[in-house]
Structure 1
């Protein structure tokens, strides 16, 4: 495939992760409320997947393509991007309930904030496709396209992570009486920056193959930082009224997620 075709494949993968956010709103077609235990377990599942995938995937691949001296600054840059994103998001807290009343200027503002929030996740997806088209890359065929194993795992990991995020967006909209399909749309809207970030990251590592370790380090740093600063606090917040503060559900989900990534270490 040429670069244009590769970019299209990466964009579709990023779009899949964004659409997965809409899945978080689907339970509200059937029930009025979503059990916090499942919410916490999903955050734990996503955390286990992300941490294990970063170790078995980007870190290992980065070391395979270069020395740790490029991997380390890349990881620090990924952490810095997430920290910068949190600094911006902490300054502006868009209420999902406002989406239904927002005018054009407000929607632009909300999208800008969500771009900072979602961009690192898209970057992780894009970098995971760095071996797309490599003759010696381990691949898995999806819809007739040979994808790097790491890319397939990462796309699934981010998609799973986006499901509870979709629930988080849908809950306040449900309380405002917003229709189910509109909740799905706004949930997907909140993750639309991810395919953009995926394409930009992939284009960068494709044009600068010598900096692959830097890119892999960036993805790993961003992923672990997201887990530490977003997934874990969100899970504990959701589980604060559960027995044990939801820690058992979170740990159980994290262990399942980590074990699910073991095959990535074997390829």
Structure 2
């Protein structure tokens, strides 16, 4: 029963990160468009948060549990997953505009592809809860929650906000209702709680693989930032003064500052 309770707790944490994606659609209730400068700032913020959480949280925690080579192998595996996921998504040519027009079979296909895309984020949440219920954490709803898990849940949630905005922009141009923008944004991250539960269950049963799990999540997150977040911000900056670099750097710096407390807990 304790394991079931822990799995439920982790699932809820993962579901919170998925719900946060819907926040990215909320501005469209008040504005018809979101400026490129604001989007660049959001991508920078997400980048700073994810890299900091990976370096100060996942990698340091992994080194406390195992050796450097275990972390390195895990990071390499995480990078491979992101590369494979990217290739699958490119080959499938799934566009957010297809969400609204898809039938059930198409939605299943889309959800399957999103599962591959969102899995690294779910893994990051799941492995950060490895010490759930053990000594040394913070009491939340009667459970002892690792501080790393709190930071990682917040980090992934913030990271999901610009994702939700990016998904909502093409749907908004199609005239999709605002409340549906929120739904489709959340839908895109629904695989995250599943990935979180699977990762948590695995590292709890096979504790010796925990360093690999930390490395896997860190490698995937850092590579996502370098291969997707920053290029996305730079693409948006093509029509912004100075290429949007001040906004990008400012967002990254603010994201790092938000995660700095993780370095000292």
User: Normalization by structure 2: what TM-score?
Assistant: 0.97
Q: Aligned partners of 2:67, 2:154: CA distance in 1, in Å? A: 28
Once the 2 structures are TM-superposed, how far is the Cα of residue 146 of structure 1 from its aligned partner? 2.8
Q: Aligned partners of 2:59, 2:95: CA distance in 1, in Å? A: 36
Q: Show the counterpart of 2:15.
A: 15
Listed one character per residue, the Cα deviations across residues 115-152 of structure 1 (whole Å, up to 9, x for unaligned) are 111111111111111111222x3x23344433111111
- Residue 183 (1) aligns with residue 181 (2): yes
Instruction: Please say if residues 55 and 218 of structure 2, whose CA atoms lie closer than 8 Å, have aligned partners that are also in contact.
Output: yes
Q: Show the counterpart of 2:205.
A: 207
Q: Show the counterpart of 2:90.
A: 90
Q: Aligned partners of 1:172, 1:254: CA distance in 2, in Å? A: 25
Please give the residue correspondences for 1:27-176 in structure 2 after superposition, counting only pairs within 5 Å: 27-135=27-135, 137=136, 139-176=137-174
Once the 2 structures are TM-superposed, how far is the Cα of residue 240 of structure 1 from its aligned partner? 1.7
Listed one character per residue, the Cα deviations across residues 52-78 of structure 1 (whole Å, up to 9, x for unaligned) are 111111111111111112111111111
Once the 2 structures are TM-superposed, how far is the Cα of residue 91 of structure 1 from its aligned partner? 1.0
Task: Provide the alpha-carbon RMSD of the alignment.
Answer: 1.2
Q: Aligned partners of 1:215, 1:97: CA distance in 2, in Å? A: 34
Q: Show the counterpart of 1:239.
A: 237
Which blocks of at least 5 consecutive residues in structure 1 are unaligned? none
Instruction: Please say if residues 40 and 244 of structure 2, whose CA atoms lie closer than 8 Å, have aligned partners that are also in contact.
Output: yes
Q: Aligned partners of 2:238, 2:98: CA distance in 1, in Å? A: 26
Which blocks of at least 5 consecutive residues in structure 2 are unaligned? none
Once the 2 structures are TM-superposed, how far is the Cα of residue 210 of structure 1 from its aligned partner? 1.4
Pair 5,251 (structure 1): closer, same or farther in 2 beyond 3 Å: same
Q: Matched residue pairs, number?
A: 265
Instruction: Please say if residues 132 and 143 of structure 2, whose CA atoms lie closer than 8 Å, have aligned partners that are also in contact.
Output: no
Q: Show the counterpart of 2:4.
A: 4
Instruction: Please say if residues 125 and 153 of structure 2, whose CA atoms lie closer than 8 Å, have aligned partners that are also in contact.
Output: yes
Q: Aligned partners of 2:38, 2:145: CA distance in 1, in Å? A: 31
